Amino acid sequence: MLHGTRKVQPARTPRVSVIVPTYNRAAEIGRCLESLVKQTIADFEVIVCDDGSTDGTADVVTTFRDRLDLTFHWSENFGGPARPRNLGLELARGDYVAFLDSDDWWTPHKLARSLQRLETGADVVYHDLYRVHSVQQRLYWRRVRTRRLVAPVFRDLLQGGNAVPNSSVVVRRELMRKISGFSEDRTLIAWEDYDAWLRLSRLTDRFERLRMPLGYYWEGGNNISSPLRLLANLERFRELYGAADFPGGQMPSWYDYSMGLAYYQLGAHADALAHLRRALSGHLPIRQLAKAWRTAMLSSLHSSAGRR
């Protein structure tokens, strides 16, 4: 069952289609859409794909129909953002598609600066996002940090982990359609974006990082990630990419680091310690190195206490 409403379309096809998946975000989506009203360019459409909200999200979205070239679709709940994003890709009319989660938001120059790079040769652009943990926050210093990807980008993403936050990405629509959008594999929920960038990087190395943070990432609650989900994501990643792309089955340090943190959060200290030791024997970024040592020491203490 699918319900949709759309504002009367302008004659000109927009350059960018902004795809906003949402589920029960009535309290946050207004902030997201307001940031789109404030963009310094107007040549874009907004496609809000609602994954079965029951909290009045549609009522909030409707208030923006006279301020944005806006499409709204409600469909039965899938349980993750992949299907709503794919619906948005089917509806998109722009040459480029931008992805924005409904609890995140952008700075006013986000689309203009992204288009500058795309129209001079990039296929995918992305950037850092400021981390936001409360509605009262006014100073932003912590970031979801990206890194510059080097060719071959597929290998860089595999070895270094995901460097591309979903709510920062603008990409050529034709490339997203060539990879058939986001995987709807339920074991990839919360990681379907990383999988999509890996598949995109088999088609192009023209990923470009914008130096300035041009958006905000909401950490204030209701995120879909959890230690158990992370473990499922990591196991599925190994199934998809491990055997063929990592000779001898030796996974990169970031993989064992992530496994170690997830097991630690679940209280499985022996498993956490084993993975963190493997991670520390490889190459971790400075920001992860200290946390890996600290968590490994705590895991060791817990494991020792458990054996007494």
Residues 165, 245, single domain; the answer is: no
- For residues 54 and 152, state if they share a domain: yes
Q: Do 186 and 269 reside in the same domain of the chain?
A: no
For residue 240, what pLDDT is reported?
93
Q: List, for residues 225-278, the tens digit of each pLDDT value.
A: 789 999 999 999 999 998 778 867 789 999 999 999 999 999 999 999 999 999
The predicted-structure confidence for 180-214, as pLDDT tens digits, reads as follows: 999 999 999 999 999 999 999 999 999 999 999 99
60 and 140 part of one domain: yes
The percentage of residues in the chain with a pLDDT greater than 90, rounded to a whole number, is 86
Write the DSSP symbol of residue 220. Answer: S
What per-residue confidence (pLDDT) applies to 69?
97
Express the helix, strand and coil content of the chain in percent, nearest 5 each: 45, 15, 40
Same domain, 241 and 109: no
What percent of the chain is modeled with pLDDT above 70? Answer: 94
Say if CB 56 and CB 127 are below 8 A apart.
no
104 and 45, same structural domain?
yes
Same domain, yes or no: 47 and 110: yes
Give the whole-angstrom CA distance, residue 99 versus residue 101: 7
Residue with tokens 């069952």: 1
Q: Are residues 212 and 231 in the same domain?
A: no
CATH number at residue 181: 3.90.550.10
177/253 same-domain check: no
Report the C-alpha gap between 192 and 92 in whole angstroms: 19
Q: Are residues 163 and 270 in the same domain?
A: no
In SS3 terms, 246-262 reads as CHHHCCCHHHHHHHHHH
Residues 15, 95: Cα–Cα separation, whole Å: 5
17 and 100, same domain (yes or no):
yes
Q: Tens digits of per-residue pLDDT, 110-126?
A: 999 999 999 999 999 99
CA dist 260 and 270 (Å) reads: 9
Domain count, the chain: 2
Instruction: State the pLDDT at residue 12.
Output: 76
Q: Where are the beta strands (DSSP E) in 13-113?
A: 16-22, 44-50, 70-75, 96-99, 105-106
DSSP state of 52: S
Domain boundary among 218, 252, 270: 218
- Which of these three, 171, 194, 218, is where a domain ends? 218
Domain span at residue 10? 2-218
Annotate 104-159 with DSSP letters as a single string: -EE-TTHHHHHHHHHTTT-SEEEE-EEEE--TT------EE------SSHHHHHHH
Minimal CA–CA distance to 192: which of 210, 180, 203? Answer: 180
Q: Which of 218, 240, 261 is the last residue of a domain?
A: 218
Report how far residue 19's alpha carbon sits from residue 91's, in angstroms, rounded to the nearest whole number: 9
- Pair (136, 194) in one structural domain: yes
| Residue-level pLDDT at 108 | 98
Instruction: Give 21-62 pLDDT, tens digit per residue.
Output: 999 999 999 999 999 999 999 999 999 999 999 999 999 999
